[in-house]
């Protein structure tokens, strides 16, 4: 792990009544981000980027989470309040994270 390795945390909701498979989604996201050289953490509020991952629209990961870091919010089959198919979520989350870091590197406003 290098000093300036990007950290991304996947913050879970609690998982009482999920309408999407959070475990599988997290594994897919972790796998793709690992390959991009990021360090993937769980349930950390102070990572460089936080993915709130809730199994349903109640959105407990975000609701009870406490982080002011750049973020993407998954609540059931939606990303940042826009409905998506469950199978589209992983790719969209990864795009969101990559876009953010690309903008950061180019010093563009996030």
Stretch that binds other proteins, among 27-35, 38-46, 50-58, 102-110 (CB under 8 A): 50-58
19 lies in the site for other proteins, by CB under 8 A: yes
Stretch that binds other proteins, among 4-12, 27-35, 36-44, 75-83 (CB under 8 A): 75-83
Contact 90, 51 (CB under 8 A): no
Q: Concatenated DSSP letters for 36-104?
A: TTPEEEES-TTSSEEEEEESSTT-HHHHS----S-EEEEESSEETTEE--GGGHHHHHHHHHHHHHHHH
87 lies in the site for other proteins, by CB under 8 A: no
Question: Hey, CA dihedral for 77, 80, 81, 82, is it positive or negative?
Answer: negative
Binding map of other proteins across residues 53-72, x = CB under 8 A, - = no contact: ---xxxx-------------
Among 2, 35, 66, 81, binds other proteins (CB under 8 A): 81
Smallest separation, CB 51 to other proteins (Å) = 17
């Amino acid at each position: 792990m290098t000093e300036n390795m990007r950290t991304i945390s996947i913050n879970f909701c609690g998982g009482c009544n999920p309408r999407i498979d959070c475990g599988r989604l997290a594994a897919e996201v972790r796998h793709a981000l690992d390959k991009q050289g990021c360090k993937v953490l769980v349930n950390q509020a102070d990572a460089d980027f936080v993915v709130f991952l809730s199994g349903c629209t109640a959105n407990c990961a975000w609701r009870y989470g406490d982080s002011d870091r750049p973020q993407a919010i998954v609540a059931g089959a939606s990303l940042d309040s826009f409905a998506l198919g469950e199978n589209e979520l992983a790719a969209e989350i990864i795009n969101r994270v990559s876009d953010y870091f690309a903008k950061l590197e180019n010093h563009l406003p996030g």
